[in-house]
Protein backbone atom coordinates (compact mmCIF):
# COMPACT_ATOMS: atom_id res chain seq x y z
CA UNK A 1 0.00 0.00 0.00
CA UNK A 2 1.16 3.47 -0.72
CA UNK A 3 2.13 5.84 2.05
CA UNK A 4 2.90 9.53 2.26
CA UNK A 5 5.41 11.00 4.69
CA UNK A 6 5.70 14.60 5.73
CA UNK A 7 8.90 15.04 7.64
CA UNK A 8 8.16 18.18 9.59
CA UNK A 9 5.20 18.13 11.95
CA UNK A 10 5.63 21.69 13.12
CA UNK A 11 7.45 24.59 11.48
CA UNK A 12 7.82 28.08 12.88
CA UNK A 13 9.06 30.86 10.64
CA UNK A 14 9.27 34.62 10.70
CA UNK A 15 7.59 36.65 8.01
CA UNK A 16 9.62 36.93 4.78
CA UNK A 17 11.49 33.69 5.52
CA UNK A 18 11.58 31.03 2.83
CA UNK A 19 9.57 27.86 3.24
CA UNK A 20 10.14 24.30 2.16
CA UNK A 21 7.94 21.47 3.39
CA UNK A 22 8.98 17.93 2.60
CA UNK A 23 6.76 15.21 1.17
CA UNK A 24 7.78 11.72 0.16
CA UNK A 25 5.61 8.90 -1.08
CA UNK A 26 6.22 5.20 -1.35
CA UNK A 27 4.61 4.19 -4.62
CA UNK A 28 6.75 3.77 -7.73
CA UNK A 29 4.09 3.82 -10.44
CA UNK A 30 2.17 6.67 -12.01
CA UNK A 31 1.05 9.18 -9.42
CA UNK A 32 -0.93 12.37 -9.16
CA UNK A 33 0.32 14.65 -6.41
CA UNK A 34 -1.44 17.34 -4.40
CA UNK A 35 -0.87 19.85 -1.68
CA UNK A 36 -3.81 20.97 0.41
CA UNK A 37 -3.94 23.79 2.94
CA UNK A 38 -6.19 24.00 5.99
CA UNK A 39 -6.45 27.43 7.58
CA UNK A 40 -7.45 27.50 11.25
CA UNK A 41 -11.03 26.37 11.68
CA UNK A 42 -11.57 25.81 7.98
CA UNK A 43 -11.76 22.88 5.59
CA UNK A 44 -9.04 21.64 3.29
CA UNK A 45 -8.48 23.63 0.13
CA UNK A 46 -6.44 22.62 -2.89
CA UNK A 47 -3.17 24.54 -3.13
CA UNK A 48 -1.67 22.92 -6.22
CA UNK A 49 -1.51 19.65 -8.09
CA UNK A 50 0.76 17.71 -10.42
CA UNK A 51 -0.35 15.23 -13.06
CA UNK A 52 2.35 15.26 -15.74
CA UNK A 53 4.63 17.54 -17.71
CA UNK A 54 6.70 20.26 -16.09
CA UNK A 55 7.76 18.93 -12.69
CA UNK A 56 7.70 22.42 -11.22
CA UNK A 57 4.10 23.26 -10.44
CA UNK A 58 2.87 26.69 -9.44
CA UNK A 59 -0.18 27.07 -7.25
CA UNK A 60 -2.14 29.79 -5.56
CA UNK A 61 -0.75 32.43 -3.20
CA UNK A 62 2.82 32.13 -4.49
CA UNK A 63 3.30 28.48 -3.58
CA UNK A 64 5.08 26.04 -5.84
CA UNK A 65 6.10 22.40 -5.64
CA UNK A 66 8.67 20.31 -7.43
CA UNK A 67 8.12 16.69 -8.38
CA UNK A 68 11.37 14.72 -8.29
CA UNK A 69 10.51 11.24 -9.49
CA UNK A 70 13.88 9.72 -8.60
CA UNK A 71 13.46 10.82 -5.00
CA UNK A 72 9.72 10.08 -4.77
CA UNK A 73 9.33 13.62 -3.48
CA UNK A 74 6.96 16.53 -3.97
CA UNK A 75 8.22 19.33 -1.75
CA UNK A 76 6.26 22.53 -1.27
CA UNK A 77 8.05 25.87 -1.40
CA UNK A 78 7.38 29.54 -1.01
CA UNK A 79 10.14 32.17 -1.28
CA UNK A 80 8.70 34.55 1.31
CA UNK A 81 5.98 33.56 3.77
CA UNK A 82 3.37 35.84 5.27
CA UNK A 83 1.55 35.71 8.58
CA UNK A 84 -1.57 34.71 6.63
CA UNK A 85 0.18 31.48 5.55
CA UNK A 86 -0.21 30.14 9.08
CA UNK A 87 -2.07 26.89 8.47
CA UNK A 88 -1.70 23.14 8.27
CA UNK A 89 -0.42 21.72 5.00
CA UNK A 90 -1.16 18.24 3.71
CA UNK A 91 0.52 16.37 0.92
CA UNK A 92 -1.62 13.76 -0.87
CA UNK A 93 -1.01 11.13 -3.51
CA UNK A 94 -3.34 9.36 -5.90
CA UNK A 95 -1.67 6.35 -7.49
CA UNK A 96 -2.84 4.41 -10.49
CA UNK A 97 -3.32 1.31 -8.36
CA UNK A 98 -5.14 3.02 -5.52
CA UNK A 99 -8.66 3.01 -6.89
CA UNK A 100 -10.48 6.10 -5.88
CA UNK A 101 -8.55 7.14 -2.83
CA UNK A 102 -6.17 9.92 -2.05
CA UNK A 103 -3.61 8.98 0.57
CA UNK A 104 -2.72 11.89 2.83
CA UNK A 105 0.40 12.63 4.78
CA UNK A 106 0.22 13.44 8.47
CA UNK A 107 0.31 17.17 7.87
CA UNK A 108 2.71 19.98 8.73
CA UNK A 109 1.54 22.75 10.99
CA UNK A 110 3.12 26.05 9.94
CA UNK A 111 3.18 29.06 12.20
CA UNK A 112 4.41 32.35 10.78
CA UNK A 113 5.39 34.96 13.32
CA UNK A 114 4.65 38.56 12.36
Partner 1 sequence: NAGVTQTPKFRILKIGQSMTLQCTQDMNHNYMYWYRQDPGMGLKLIYYSVGAGITDKGEVPNGYNVSRSTTEDFPLRLELAAPSQTSVYFCASSYDRGNYGYTFGSGTRLTVV
By the rule CB under 8 A, 100 interacts with partner 1: yes
State whether residue 51 is helix, strand or coil. Answer: coil
Taking the complex as a whole, the smallest distance from the CB of residue 70 to partner 1 amounts, in Å, to: 23
Q: How far is C-alpha 113 from the chain's CA centre? A: 21
- The whole-angstrom separation of Cα 49 and Cα 59 is 8
By the rule CB under 8 A, 105 interacts with partner 1: yes
Is the CA virtual torsion 110, 20, 13, 39 positive or negative?
negative
Closer to partner 1 at the Cβ: 23 or 112? Answer: 23
Closer to partner 1 at the Cβ: 70 or 100? Answer: 100
- The whole-angstrom separation of Cα 55 and Cα 84 is 27
Taking the complex as a whole, the smallest distance from the CB of residue 87 to partner 1 amounts, in Å, to: 14
Contact residues toward partner 1 (CB under 8 A) are 4, 6, 9, 32, 34, 36, 42-46, 49, 51, 90, 92, 94, 99-102, 104-107
Amino acid sequence: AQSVSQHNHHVILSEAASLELGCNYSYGGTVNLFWYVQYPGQHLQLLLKYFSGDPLVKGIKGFEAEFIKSKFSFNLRKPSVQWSDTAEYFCAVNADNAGNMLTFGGGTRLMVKP
